[in-house]
Amino acid sequence: MAVSNPARSRGRTRWLVIAAIVLGVAVFVGANAHLIYVSFASQPACVDHAKPGEMRAGQYSAAKSSC
């Protein structure tokens, strides 16, 4: 009959918990880095919109146009 070693089991559990935390932090950082990259890489082109002060039925105008 094999007797389990509680110290060895505790060490393995601690290692698994630390590995899971490190993996979770890495996924979180990677996802945020990807969101920042996509936000800068996908600048939309200028679209036709009402200029500030123009009145068009059913349309809003940009507060400050970038183009």
Asked if residue 21 is part of any domain, the answer here is yes
Q: How does pLDDT run across 15-59, given as a tens digit for each residue?
A: 999 999 999 999 999 999 999 999 888 877 776 666 766 666 666
Rounded distance, CA 63 to CA 49, Å?
Answer: 11
| Assigned domain for 61 exists | no
The Cα 18–Cα 41 span in angstroms is 34
Do the domain assignments include residue 16? yes
In this structure, what are the phi and psi dihedrals at residue 20, rounded to the nearest 5 degrees? -65, -40
Domain boundaries, position 28: 11-40
pLDDT top residue among 3 and 63: 63
pLDDT > 90? residue 60:
no
- Provide the domain count of the chain: 1
In this structure, is residue 55 part of a structural domain?
no
pLDDT of res. 40: 87
Domain membership flag for residue 32: yes
- Whether 36 is in a domain gets the answer yes
Nearest to 45 by CA among 60, 24, 12, 67: 67
Confidence of residue 3 (pLDDT cuts 50, 70, 90): low
Counted residue by residue, the chain has a size of 67
Helix, strand or coil, per DSSP, at residue 35: helix
Residue 32 has a pLDDT of 98
